[in-house]
Structure 1
């Protein structure tokens, strides 16, 4: 007769979620968003238009969408723990590929792969995080937010490294930045292979659950608008800061403020996420996100840009948390992988279309201000739309 399994202490569960948060730190914080820091140098060195630069985020987002489409199946086939680990490792390898060549096709392939890997890690890791949060009802919102604040770690680290690497090595050193991001990614991947992620993987969360689109079509549409709107800000704001005369210190400060404020997400929004089991919490958080995105349109002063980074960053990943909280409130655990994947797909479609469309608008109009206008408008529209999402009967798929 085997000994009974010892319950996992709350402190251990917190550490486990922090380790899980390294998956989006690598796949999103470094794999997607660090691109914005090297975009101006890559665009100048490689002769890209804004449309070409936007395409690099579009192909990454297309990979993310493809990964989201298969993530639930991958998690069921290999288990959420293994899926989280190996997808994060694949993202780290893809970053190394970005450092090896300036060929547009190869770079596009690397951005595609890191997008696929990021989505699988995000869905599988998010499922594990939701399971852990469910086991600690009193702290569930904070625990869940810890996972979704993970990309803030990658954003902060890349913001502290990339601008100064570019300044030190000079124009054309974008590939050195990618090597630096690869080293950071490997360092953050190692703990995931050491930790026992499988202690959160048992239970019904890996089973197939029923999910219907129609009852949540409003929330999915709002999340689509968020995906399309936020990506313009995160893709082109560093170029906007640089075009306004901001050097390495200004770019680092701006990007690091986004990462730092994202790390505050669990504590800032813990009560808001529990206000309503429908779309109210998303409306509040996304509304704040839209305000942050609109602030640069009022001026180019360091104070205004800093406030924009803080306001945008503190709400950015809380929007994602609000959708997973909605899933956790309204669906049984068996449906969580499918429901989280559906949310991620809607988000992925939005962010796939966003960069290239906004890049084309910028090329046509000749100013990044138009990109920020479009970004803020889509975020505001998403905030208004999500207010109309009503709670579902708990456990009812339709």
Structure 2
């Protein structure tokens, strides 16, 4: 969340423009980051990767996202929001095509790094531009912004409908075809972004944000760090877990699509919970549900259990970021928002950078994906516990 400068007249159809903007996180996060999990089992088999190597691909992606998020503000001030949204999304499309080009570990790592940087540029700048557009209709601003943040769910849903069946039809070693098809899908989704009449001059404010103190929210930041580490481990390895348990293309697709569909009901499910408390209570409740969703497959791999896990995890996963935004809005003045959101982003970013690599190493050492799932659920539960100790802040 940043302070924004707005220099052009209100758009005639803000909902349509925000829906077009939502294609940025659809490509950058829903496809660019999360679709890797659908292709990971075939890549690991074909390229003889350890789970540590497989986890590293999401670690380098998360590191790129963190770096991109930290430089977006300066780039936007120089080039404008719409230019950065488009460049970031195009970088994600390029990275998807690069993933199809070779099985070389270094090249794939570079492609995943580019995807992370591009996704951050597109998501942060896109969210800022969506905020400007939503201000044209203050009474509907919350609804309009929810359209933008549904983007990752659309990407998860669309890739889940395509990748598992494509891999099944093409056979073992066809992971590169999956990347190529996803790159084509992402390119098609990027076209409306390139053609839409987005505000070309809107930028982030150059005002100096108020100072931010870490100590009063240190435990909350620690909880958010644990969420970053825990959720990405589940999202990285869960499709491999489903496959190893005997789930074919239909089971993998259904599981992934249920997570994607959860994004569309998240705002309605958690609206009252997010208004409960100015401290960490809302985040604690949502993270607790997230941990339960991650742990459910440990108690059985029936179709019903996997479906419930996907729904419970998905509907809470998409809400945690919203709960931290609500925490910042409740506890800080507007001048302090940039510093607070930056601290949250860094904490979360470090967590999701370390999570896949650490969990992959643990899985290699123990020899079972169940351990990855257990570590993921435990990490999320610790995050929920830590958040419970966060008290409301007194504004200066």
| TM-score (normalizing by structure 2) | 0.91
Q: In the alignment, does 2:214 pair up with 1:210?
A: no
- Maintained 8 Å contact 1:79/1:206: no
Q: Which is worse superposed, 118-127 or 208-217? A: 208-217
Partner of 1:379: 380
**CA apart distance, 1:167:** 0.7
CA 1:275–1:259 in 2, change beyond 3 Å: closer, same or farther? same
Partner of 1:175: 176
CA deviation profile, 1:14-58 (whole Å, cap 9, x unmatched): 333322222221111111110000000000111111111111111
- Maintained 8 Å contact 1:362/1:370: yes
Whole-angstrom distance in 1 between the partners of 2:195 and 2:275: 33
Whole-angstrom distance in 2 between the partners of 1:275 and 1:165: 45
**CA apart distance, 1:181:** 1.0
Partner of 1:281: 282
Partner of 2:237: 236
Superposition CA RMSD, Å = 2.4
Matches within 5 A, 1:49-128: 49-128=50-129
Whole-angstrom distance in 1 between the partners of 2:99 and 2:364: 25
5+ residue gaps in structure 2?
1-6
**CA apart distance, 1:271:** 3.0
- Maintained 8 Å contact 1:254/1:309: yes
- Maintained 8 Å contact 2:10/2:133: no
Partner of 1:28: 29
CA 1:5–1:353 in 2, change beyond 3 Å: closer, same or farther? closer
Query: What secondary structure does 2:263 align onto?
Result: helix
5+ residue gaps in structure 1?
none
Whole-angstrom distance in 2 between the partners of 1:322 and 1:187: 32
CA 1:390–1:24 in 2, change beyond 3 Å: closer, same or farther? farther
CA 1:340–1:233 in 2, change beyond 3 Å: closer, same or farther? same
CA 1:337–1:129 in 2, change beyond 3 Å: closer, same or farther? farther
Q: Which is worse superposed, 286-295 or 357-366? A: 286-295
Q: Which is worse superposed, 71-80 or 131-140? A: 131-140
- Maintained 8 Å contact 1:131/1:333: no
Q: Which is worse superposed, 298-307 or 193-202? A: 193-202
Give the length in aligned residue pairs.
389
- Maintained 8 Å contact 1:123/1:337: no
| TM-score (normalizing by structure 1) | 0.90
**CA apart distance, 1:80:** 2.6
CA deviation profile, 1:184-208 (whole Å, cap 9, x unmatched): 2112222222334328936x64544
Whole-angstrom distance in 1 between the partners of 2:153 and 2:308: 17
**CA apart distance, 1:134:** 6.0
Matches within 5 A, 1:1-398: 7-8=10-11, 12-132=13-133, 138-198=139-199, 201=202, 205=205, 207-212=207-212, 213-333=214-334, 335-393=336-394
**CA apart distance, 1:381:** 1.4
- Maintained 8 Å contact 2:97/2:180: yes
**CA apart distance, 1:5:** 7.2
CA 1:376–1:72 in 2, change beyond 3 Å: closer, same or farther? same
- Maintained 8 Å contact 1:76/1:207: no
Query: What secondary structure does 1:197 align onto?
Result: coil
- Maintained 8 Å contact 1:290/1:380: yes
Whole-angstrom distance in 1 between the partners of 2:290 and 2:60: 24
CA 1:115–1:244 in 2, change beyond 3 Å: closer, same or farther? same
- Maintained 8 Å contact 1:205/1:337: no
CA 1:79–1:333 in 2, change beyond 3 Å: closer, same or farther? farther
CA deviation profile, 1:359-382 (whole Å, cap 9, x unmatched): 011111111111111111111111
- Maintained 8 Å contact 2:11/2:133: no
